[in-house]
Structure 1
Amino acid sequence: MIIPKDGDEIEIRSYKHNGSLHRVWEKTVVLHSDNTTLIGGNNRVRVTESDGRTWRTREPAITYFTTEYWFNIISMMRQDGIYYYCNISSPYVVDHEALKYIDYDLDIKVFADGSYKILDEDEFDIHRKKMNYPDVLQQILYKQLRILEQWVKERRGPFDASFVKSWYDYYRKHYQ
């Protein structure tokens, strides 16, 4: 796996279990990268869906990817606080094209007050059957969902507002 340098601009690509392209974020600035973690920043970045539709994100975001867990976290900086969108996904890899991961549908949306909601369990169930997820994979994904829930409850890592604010300040100072 390639380890991007701080300041590199990378594309982010999510795929589905069957290998089909799901979504592409055109540009994220690498704020920190090592063997296990990549932290990025972006603002109003263009996103392309698998059907070709495009849209732009509405606010600055700090992204958190890890090779140690099966999830990634997007922290969105809004007027009334930090919101999070978390994807249950494969650990990421980076090659010469992009940062890549498999999106497994299950998501957690975390609100500024710390409350959260699990999303897309119906979509997960459809894809689980359609793409024939092995039982062992399903067990991993649900275990990772519980770990992610625990992180939210404990305000661990990116769910600690000071973590996100310090990376956002760094991003604004150096890259905006």
Structure 2
Amino acid sequence: MMSFPKRGENIEIHSYKHNGLIHRIWEETVILKGTSNVVIGGNDRIIVEEADGRKWRTREPAICYFDADRWFNSIGMIRQDGIYYYCNLGTPFTYDGEALKYIDYDLDIKVYPDMTYRLLDEDEFEEHKRKMNYPPELEPILEREVELLISWINQGKGPFEPGFVEYWYERFLQYR
């Protein structure tokens, strides 16, 4: 059985590409909920390291949502003018005691405070599909998950439920 991070634990999040190389590392996220099905974490102004070694700092508090059954995760970013979401299409998460990990499959959905959204990086997906020889069964999975993710956004389900980010942000503040 997969282990999972414990509430209050500070962990790293690692995303990889299909070829096994590291894509991005978020250096610290406080676990607010950790079960074998769902991990919810919070962070604020943390260091993110890119594959090329470049580092940058996030600009706002964020609540991250990972689901063990879904090929996507979401980051709800709390900004002055509302909550923006950045959703990554990728494998369901694993946790090995070192970090929460997933494979990033390029496609992203950006969701605006009014819950309108945009699918991003389709060209990057096509390029990496060729370069990294994505298996043929991957595309139908991702298409299904994009549709499901959009339906969650439209229905206000999961991390898009009204009040979800605010609720977990209040919990995050208790660890600061």
Structure 2 length normalisation: TM-score? 0.98
- Show the counterpart of 1:31: 32
SS where residue 118 of structure 1 aligns? strand
Number of matched residues?
A: 175
- Show the counterpart of 1:175: 175
SS where residue 126 of structure 2 aligns? helix
SS where residue 28 of structure 2 aligns? strand
Q: How far off its partner does 1:164 sit?
A: 1.1
Q: How far off its partner does 1:161 sit?
A: 2.7
- Show the counterpart of 2:141: 140
Percent identity over the alignment is 56
Task: State yes or no: 1:163 paired with 2:138.
Answer: no
- Show the counterpart of 1:91: 92
Range 99-108 or range 130-139, more displaced: 130-139
SS where residue 75 of structure 2 aligns? strand
Decide whether the 8 Å contact of 1:5 with 1:30 is kept in 2. yes
Task: State yes or no: 1:66 paired with 2:80.
Answer: no
Q: Provide structure 2 residue ranges, at least 5 long, that are not aligned to the other structure.
A: none
Q: How large is the Cα RMSD of the aligned pairs?
A: 0.7
Amino acid at match of 1:158: P
Counterpart Cα distance in 2 of 1:103 and 1:116: 19
- Show the counterpart of 2:132: 131
Structure 1 length normalisation: TM-score? 0.98
Decide whether the 8 Å contact of 2:62 with 2:78 is kept in 1. yes
SS where residue 168 of structure 1 aligns? helix
